[in-house]
Amino acid sequence: MNQIINELKTLAYDQGILYVEDNKGLRDNIEGLLAKFFPKVWVAEEGRSGYELYLTHRPAIVLTDINMPHMKGFELARAIKADNNDVRIIILSAFDEKEYLYEAIEIGIFRYLPKPAKVPILVTVLRDTALAIQNERNKRIFDSQLKDIFHYQNNLLLMLKGEEPLLVNQQVLDFFGDKNFDQFMQQHGGIEKLLLEHKGFLYSTAETRWYTQAIKNPGKLFHTKMFNHAGEVRHLIMKLRLIPDKEGYTILSFDDITDLNLLMIFDSKSAKNDQLLQERSVVVKLLKVIQDNSAEVKLYNFYRGLTIINTAVLIKIDDNEMTLKTTYSQLKAIKLANNITVTSELFPSSILCKSVKSIDFDAQTVTFSDVKFIDSSADQRQFIRLEPNEKRHSVTFFYREIKFYGKARIVDISICSIKIEIDALPAGLCVGETIKVALVLDTDKQPLNFSVSGNIYRIDSFTKNYYLITLFDLSSTNKDKLTDYLATRQLELIREFKAL
C-alpha cells in the first residue's frame, strides 16, 4: 500500500480534483484524504455548484456521488464529458443496480465504486486515474513531437523523462524484437546497457555516463553501437533533442548506418581502414546523415598559408554533386583554391572536395563533386605555415658543406619547418639527410636573417622542380624573431585577402 501511496503523490503533484458530495460527514472525511495527495481540491455540496466549479477550474479528475439535489451525478458527468471527454470521472454510489452500471459505461465513467469506499480501494483507484492521465499526456507530447521531427519517422525514436524511456516507436520494438513497450522495459530497462563500448563512440564509462554527455550537447550527433534482436552489431547515429516547454523531456533518435561499414574506420587496427576512407559512396552517405540532421560542418581553405575557417550547411546532396551554403569570405577562398576541406565531429577524418563546379556569391553557395576521406589535411596543422613575400625574401642552402647554386625560393615557413622550391636536386640528397639553410626575410624594420640546420622530412618531385620540406629546431632568440615575423606576415595576408 505504501508504494501505491507514494506513486499517487508523485503522479498527482500537478493535478487537481473536484469532489462532489451532499453528505457533510463523508465529504469532510474524503476531502481530508484527497488533500494529502492533490495540490488543489475543489469541493461542492451538490451537482450544480460542482459543475460551476468544474467550469472555473477544469480539473482533470472528478469524484462524485450519484443522488444529489439540483443536479444528479450522472447529469453532472454528462455535462462535463460534453465539455471535455478526457476528464476522468469516478462515481461513488450506494446503488449497484445494473441500470446504473450500464449508464456509467455509456457516459464513459472511468471507475464505479460502492459507497462508502474503503480507503485502500479509493487510493488505488485514484492512483490508477492519475497514472492514466499521465500516460495520456506523455502520448500526446510524443505525438506532437513526431509531427515536428517528421524526418526521423524511419528512425528509432524514444521519448525520455530524465533517463527513463516513456514511449518508443515501432522501429525500436522491431529493432530489439519486442512486442510492446512493457516488454522492451522488462528486457532492457533503459538505454545505458544497450550502448556498447567502441573507440570514439558514445557509451557510459567509469568517468562519465552516456546521458551526461548527450544532455550537455543537445542536437549533437553521436556514434553508437548496439546489438539488435538477432544479436548483430549495428552502428547507429544518435541525436538527443530537447522538448520545448517540457523540462526533463527529450527525444532520442537513432539512425542505422551499419551498411556504410564504418565501424572499422574507428578501429586503428583494422586492415581495411584505408580502403574504406577512399570509398566515395561512404562519404556521400555520411554527408546525407549530416544533412538529414541539419548539422553544420566546418570548411577550411588557405590563402598563402593563412587559414580561412567558417561553418557551412549542406542544402543539397545526391550521388553526383553536393551544395553547401557558407559565408562570402569562405567562397572567396574556395574560388582561389578550387578545393575545400570539410570537417565534422561525425567524420573519422577530414573530407577533401577537389572539384568545385560552381560558386554563387549572391546565394552564398558552392557546388562540388569528387569527394574523399583523407588521412591528414591542412586543417590539422599544429603550427602556422605562411608564404613569405615573394620579392622580400631569399634562401640559400648547403648540402655536405657545398652551396646549392640553382634557383631556390621559400614556399612556406613555420617556427619548426620550411618548404623550399628548387629547380634541380643535388646528387645524393634524400629524406633524412641534413642541410644547412640560410635565409633572409625582409621586413619594414630590420631584416630577419639567420642560419639553421635541419633534416629533410620529405621530397616532392614535379616535372620541372622539387619541394624540400625540412624540419629544424631554433634557438629561443631566433624562435622569438620568427614568431614576430609570422604574426606580422599574418596581418599582411589578412589585409591582402580582404582586399581581393
CA 226 to chain centre: 18
Residue 387 domain-assigned? no
Same domain, residue pair 9 and 129: yes
User: Using CA atoms, how far apart are residues 74 and 108, in angstroms rounded to an integer?
Assistant: 10
Cα–Cα distances in angstroms (integers) from residue 409 to residues 101, 420, 422, 429, 439, in the given order: 99, 6, 7, 18, 10
Residue 385 domain-assigned? no
CATH number at residue 403: 2.40.10.220
Q: What is the pLDDT of residue 151?
A: 38
Residue 388 domain-assigned? no
Range of the domain at 327: 276-380
Cα–Cα distances in angstroms (integers) from residue 174 to residues 121, 146, 339, in the given order: 38, 18, 43
Same domain, residue pair 115 and 178: no
> Which has the closest alpha carbon to 375: 341, 404, 405?
341
Three cell numbers, residue 101: 452500471
Same domain, residue pair 196 and 166: yes
The burial class, CB within 10 Å (0-12 / 13-18 / 19+), for 211 is buried
Q: What is the pLDDT of residue 212?
A: 94
CA 139 to chain centre: 24
Same domain, residue pair 158 and 126: no
Q: What share of the chain is helix, strand, coil (3-state, %, to 5)?
A: 35, 30, 35
Q: Cell 453528505: give the residue.
A: 23
Q: What SS3 state is found at 240?
A: strand
Residue 24 domain-assigned? yes
Per-residue pLDDT of the chain (500 residues; tens, 9 = 90+): 788 888 888 888 888 999 999 888 888 999 999 999 999 999 999 989 999 999 999 999 999 998 888 898 899 999 999 999 989 999 988 776 667 777 888 888 989 888 888 888 988 999 999 888 888 888 877 777 665 554 356 789 888 999 999 888 888 898 999 999 999 999 998 899 999 888 889 999 988 999 999 999 999 999 999 989 988 888 999 999 998 888 899 999 999 998 887 877 775 543 343 344 456 777 888 888 888 888 899 999 989 988 899 999 999 988 678 899 999 999 999 999 888 999 888 887 888 888 899 999 999 999 988 887 777 665 567 788 899 988 889 999 999 999 998 899 999 999 999 999 999 999 889 999 999 999 998 887 788 888 999 999 999 998 889 999 999 999 998 898 899 989 999 999 999 998 88
How many independent structural domains does the chain possess? 4
H or E element at residue 251: strand 249-256
Same domain, residue pair 171 and 242: yes
Residue 111 domain-assigned? yes
Q: What SS3 state is found at 306?
A: strand
Q: What is the pLDDT of residue 438?
A: 92
Q: What is the pLDDT of residues 458-482, one digit of tens each?
A: 999 988 899 999 999 999 988 988 9
* 47-68 per-residue burial string, b: 16 or more CB within 10 A, e: under 16: bbbbbebbeeeebbbbbbbbeb
Same domain, residue pair 401 and 348: no
The angle subtended at Cα 212 by Cα 207 and Cα 214, nearest 5°, is 125
Q: Cell 456509467: give the residue.
A: 104
Same domain, residue pair 26 and 117: yes
Q: HSE-up of 462 (CA within 13 Å, CB side)?
A: 8
Q: What is the pLDDT of residues 317-336, one digit of tens each?
A: 886 788 999 999 999 999 99
CATH number at residue 304: 2.40.10
Residue 269 domain-assigned? no
pTM listed for this prediction? 0.55
Domain boundary among 346, 380, 414: 380
Q: What is the pLDDT of residue 334?
A: 92
Same domain, residue pair 126 and 21: yes
H or E element at residue 64: strand 61-65
Same domain, residue pair 112 and 194: no
Domain boundary among 318, 346, 380: 380
CATH number at residue 168: 3.30.450.20
CATH number at residue 89: 3.40.50.2300
